[in-house]
Structure 1
């Protein structure tokens, strides 16, 4: 780190930062914070390390930076380390601060010194400076935040800063000078102050700034019970009144021992919002040529923290009451006073303390010089014209627009304007600017509101039309659902009929097959009949020929009988018997002949009938053949019909399933309609509510 650079003692956790500007409001120097972005960042070059923003940030976005991690790492590495402990340790570890020494030694710290004794040396140096130089005005400098403030913002006060080291630097220089065995040891400073890192960097003294807060958290996380360690005293001679140095006014309590009545020419002042305005006014007084005629005190006993070092920025005591913080300090003072003879032996104590301090004080050893860091402060102050331009960007056009509301954190509109002029903030963080935008847009909003009302009315009318359409749709849905139910019932009945028909057709299919078989058998029988008729016809025709022969024989027989009768007549009585026989023969022949004719006629009729029968049988055969073909065609058609009915029966199941789905869809449409109606009513209610809000 370069000599003029300043270490970061505050870190911003950007994940937690909400850009609320509480840190800027709490900061005594304001412009070390940059609020121009989404998160407020810190410019460490002009941050004085007062730590007030840490307590102000309720989001824990501001975090202290110290060297505790490096210190414990060095202990683990067995580096040669000694420690010095600030007097505020008695308040931060009440009743256990000497046990803390025992713990540190168990970790490898070789020696531990009490900064309270360094405070005794510091007051000794102040008194000698005041006695020797008789300055008109002297500012005590135990607090590094105050030193940094003067170095950056009011370097004209540097000549008035006490030219003596702080108590911590006094004890460090004392160790280097009077304890040569620790000359090369690194020094850890157990401190209540985050800004001490700046002091160590500037002077090159002190290696680790270990805050009490970080130390306490480390002990808690590692479950270290200090009571289990032996109480170990400090290496240096015991301090006396300076054990109160961590309290506001502790310097005066100690100084009164050396110079009684010094409190009457001393200004005791502490607290961020008190000390820095006070120093600013002192600077104005000095710059104006004043302060030479007793307007200023001889000594300013000042601290950055309102509760002193006991409630410093590196402690966890920010909210602890003063009485509770200081009780352990007063107890310790009583204990050390007893070692020096008690409060009744003031003069004796003074002599003892003077002698001890003289043994550890050397002229020039504890001298302190300071740096002028005003070049770090590059903030430009705008002239009136530039300021007016910034105000214009903030929509501030007159005195009535100067609110000084502190919403921005700067305490005044001018402070905000300076920040914007230097790029450290933006108009959007100005309360008036945002109100102005709202006011400017109010007319537009009212017009939009009016248009909104019109549109809402149109929307309500449109909603009414939608409701009417939905109601009509509902009627159609109801009718459709009813039609679906009726169609479903009819289709189900049809499907049942088809299934029954298919079942009956399947049962009749065997009968049809039997019919086809019977027709085939009938056709075969008819052909056999036709063949038999033909055979009979031929036989009858043969009988006819035989009858002709018989008829011819009968004719001849008749002729012979006639001849026999004639011959019998010729024979007389002898021939009478023969005449009778010939007569019978003649009758028989005539009867035979007559029968032959009848038979012939009958046969002729039979033959004619057979011919007719044959013709009709042929016709019947043709018809039976045709009928067989038709029956076969019918059978095939019935088979196809049965197969189709089977497929139709299978398809009917799918139709039935589809009908079920159709019913379900119909029910879903009904439900959807009701939901749509509910949403429409809700939308209508919302539109009506918007109308009411618009009217309001």
Structure 2
């Protein structure tokens, strides 16, 4: 019958959602997955729960809890209520030394009489034997386990006719105490089982038991009480074999000793084994062809390891040793009686239980079972299919993974649970992996597959030897930085997402689109579709750019196109060719990879491959180009520049710097230059020379790392060089990559007393925004502004205002690429602080630069006073 709402299994707030409770549960709907307090948890639906306690046994986090009558029982004693008590044999079997003290303490509180629960086992065993005798040809199940009877009443009502209609041992004893012994006091029961908690509300018991106290909760309540100073024994002990029912297989053993029937008795201890299908216990029990009796105990060793008796400090081995000692005594005593026939043994047992001439009537301990009528939602095939698809399971193979991460035994059960509302797709292990992989391989800003996904897909095509079926296109968004400045990053991401969505719409079936980085996309296209799609993508009208008031912005792109040769071994080979293509002819909308690009790429890649060894072999060296103060004609600083002497020949920086930038190896070169500069300054200080501040270039590639400033400081500190002698130059394009990383690096460097300069100022669109958002010590005018200074009046106006603005911002200015007296004079008139260029000095190797340090004053261009 229905359980009290106060006596239920529940999940406490610390549930971690491990699903082990679902694994042990025999009822599909008893556990349901939900999000509570922001955490995924599995809660209990007590409409479906049978209080079997398997979830509690499975839970290794002690999250599953339950309520019983322990507190109410002790409150009643405190209020001077006199109670009778039944004690399960599990208590004195598991805690043989503690039991006398516990019983004595309870009697001191007002318990008037205590009965050995094994007496209920005697009655229940005799009632079962009588029922077997009365129904010799029917398949039946013992009803000594409340977990089973709760389950059948709720979930398997068709099995009710197969249940032996006998009360559980505790109820048998309670009815006996009330109706035969005449005890009118309320009866409490110390139980090892959570499923027995509900017997207080079972109509069939006629309220024979008022309080159910689990052994676990009893001991928890008494943990601070010294019960050892008390002692008491049972007021009535069992005189027969009822004690054996406390262990799994005990009923079978009792029947065999009484030899009242030649029953085939089959043990089982898993509610799930009732199951469905032709091989299930249910089918066998309902079959008219079978005649056997099933003894069921939910727990492996019956009540001795019950769900309300969990104590990890006591081993099962010790429990069974105690049990076997008592069992052996009981059996020896039974055999010593030397009954002439089975009926004599049964009559003797009934006589032991008869009171004051009132003979025990076993039918008084029969009961009726009632279908409670728990109904689950009926699901249609369409709903089940929807549940499968919600977990990303759209193939027969994916529906048979059966990893059991969800707690169910199969994907089919998980789909059924989702369809019925008991679980959610996010609790599916394979779905979570797919989801995590998708997140890992998806760009957040555009929703498109990312660079990792591109490499995985491309390399799989190479493995499958189908990669030559495609033409590969690299799309570069023009003026991306302008969008960022005008609209902000968030809206620019919307622009890129719109582009991705529209481009995806025009893709053919097997074509693919990936977002790579910084406004770059890669397409895998069918060869016949390339020209049309590239033209289309360069003439898209994006919604977010169309509504700009009086004007419309057109989304414009460049495309680099590569046809694979079939010799590519890795997708990185294809991507390198695409990047090499985009580096050619920047004014063209479309550039095709050709032999010239291939030759140049091959040469550049060769250089890249040789860089690490070249560094090790000291083929790289640093030159220093002086920075001269025009007002004083003195050396005030220098820029450190990398050079590569390979086989006695200087390799042009244009041949290796760009490809090192694109591959990221430039980072290794930048730190190598810094280390060499620190070594040189250390040498100059050792010679007693007065060094000037040396600037070192750092590529935008460094701003994918949050610790660039720390690494710079560590290298400089390793040489014990004053920070004031080092200046770090960032190119204007670094701002296009990650302004937050750049801002963080600059802030940290300035905090550490390094000077920071912005290189190539005026070469891009970011100039003014840079000065608005970041703080620099030095501004270096780009050579493109200097080259037109003499011929273009507008250039003079621009430079004049840049210099003035820099001074207003407390920044020094440096003009690089100065080659003539006329340009130098004009820059001096425009108040530019320093000149760098061939007019004064070419880049000098360390030995030559040391001469400049010894005499820092220039008389004419390129000449110091000593010369």
> For this structure pair, what is the TM-score category when the shorter chain's length is used for normalisation?
0.5 to 0.7
Look up the SS of the partner of 2:176 in the other structure: helix
- What does residue range 70-219 of structure 1 map to in structure 2 within 5 Å? 70-134=72-136, 136-180=138-182, 182-183=183-184, 185-203=185-203, 204-219=207-222
Distance 1:40 1:360 in 2: 51
* Match for residue 350 of structure 2 among 350, 354, 363: 354
User: Could you say which residue in structure 1 is the equivalent of 2:549?
Assistant: none
Distance 1:325 1:672 in 2: 78
Query: Kindly tell me: are residues 236 and 55 of structure 1, through their superposed partners in 2, closer, same or farther at Cα, counting changes over 3 Å?
Result: same
Q: Deviations over 1:220-265 (max 9, x none)?
A: 332432xx33342x33353321111101111122223443454x42
Q: Deviations over 1:64-123 (max 9, x none)?
A: 322212212222222121110112223221244344322221221111112211111112
* Match for residue 450 of structure 2 among 414, 420, 444: 444
TM-score after normalising by structure 1:
0.61
Look up the SS of the partner of 1:127 in the other structure: helix
Deviation of 1:383 after TM superposition, in Å, equals 2.7
Distance 1:323 1:13 in 2: 31
Distance 2:661 2:109 in 1: 77
Look up the SS of the partner of 1:46 in the other structure: coil
Distance 1:680 1:324 in 2: 72
User: Could you say which residue in structure 1 is the equivalent of 2:384?
Assistant: 387
Contact 1:7/1:197, CA 8 A, preserved across alignment: no
Distance 2:255 2:661 in 1: 80
User: Could you say which residue in structure 1 is the equivalent of 2:282?
Assistant: 283
Deviation of 1:465 after TM superposition, in Å, equals 7.3
User: Could you say which residue in structure 2 is the equivalent of 1:596?
Assistant: none
Distance 2:281 2:397 in 1: 33
User: Could you say which residue in structure 1 is the equivalent of 2:309?
Assistant: 315
Query: Kindly tell me: are residues 156 and 207 of structure 1, through their superposed partners in 2, closer, same or farther at Cα, counting changes over 3 Å?
Result: same
Look up the SS of the partner of 1:36 in the other structure: strand
Structure number having the greater strand percentage:
2
Look up the SS of the partner of 2:336 in the other structure: coil
Task: Report the more deviating stretch, 167-176 or 425-434.
Answer: 425-434
Contact 1:11/1:62, CA 8 A, preserved across alignment: yes
Query: Kindly tell me: are residues 29 and 464 of structure 1, through their superposed partners in 2, closer, same or farther at Cα, counting changes over 3 Å?
Result: same
Structure 1 residues not aligned, in runs of 5+: 480-484, 487-665, 682-696
Contact 2:723/2:753, CA 8 A, preserved across alignment: no
Structure 2 residues not aligned, in runs of 5+: 442-448, 456-514, 518-571, 573-578, 580-659, 685-689, 692-720, 729-744, 755-867
Query: Kindly tell me: are residues 205 and 392 of structure 1, through their superposed partners in 2, closer, same or farther at Cα, counting changes over 3 Å?
Result: same
* Rg comparison, structure with higher value: 1
Distance 2:122 2:753 in 1: 84
Query: Kindly tell me: are residues 256 and 377 of structure 1, through their superposed partners in 2, closer, same or farther at Cα, counting changes over 3 Å?
Result: same
User: Could you say which residue in structure 2 is the equivalent of 1:247?
Assistant: 247
TM-score after normalising by structure 2:
0.50
Matched, 1:303 2:313: no
Distance 1:276 1:193 in 2: 23
Contact 2:351/2:360, CA 8 A, preserved across alignment: no
Contact 1:36/1:423, CA 8 A, preserved across alignment: no
Query: Kindly tell me: are residues 474 and 324 of structure 1, through their superposed partners in 2, closer, same or farther at Cα, counting changes over 3 Å?
Result: closer
User: Could you say which residue in structure 2 is the equivalent of 1:378?
Assistant: 376
Query: Kindly tell me: are residues 239 and 469 of structure 1, through their superposed partners in 2, closer, same or farther at Cα, counting changes over 3 Å?
Result: same
Deviation of 1:428 after TM superposition, in Å, equals 1.5
Contact 1:75/1:108, CA 8 A, preserved across alignment: yes
Structure number having the greater helix percentage:
1
Look up the SS of the partner of 1:83 in the other structure: strand
Distance 1:5 1:379 in 2: 24
Distance 1:87 1:8 in 2: 23
The total of aligned residue pairs comes to 483
Higher relative contact order (CA 8 A, sep 6+): 1
Deviation of 1:155 after TM superposition, in Å, equals 0.1
Look up the SS of the partner of 1:195 in the other structure: helix
Matched, 1:369 2:368: yes
Contact 2:191/2:215, CA 8 A, preserved across alignment: yes
Q: Deviations over 1:525-561 (max 9, x none)?
A: xxxxxxxxxxxxxxxxxxxxxxxxxxxxxxxxxxxxx
Instruction: Provide the aligned C-alpha RMSD in A.
Output: 4.1
- What does residue range 658-669 of structure 1 map to in structure 2 within 5 Å? 669=724
Distance 1:64 1:680 in 2: 64
User: Could you say which residue in structure 2 is the equivalent of 1:549?
Assistant: none
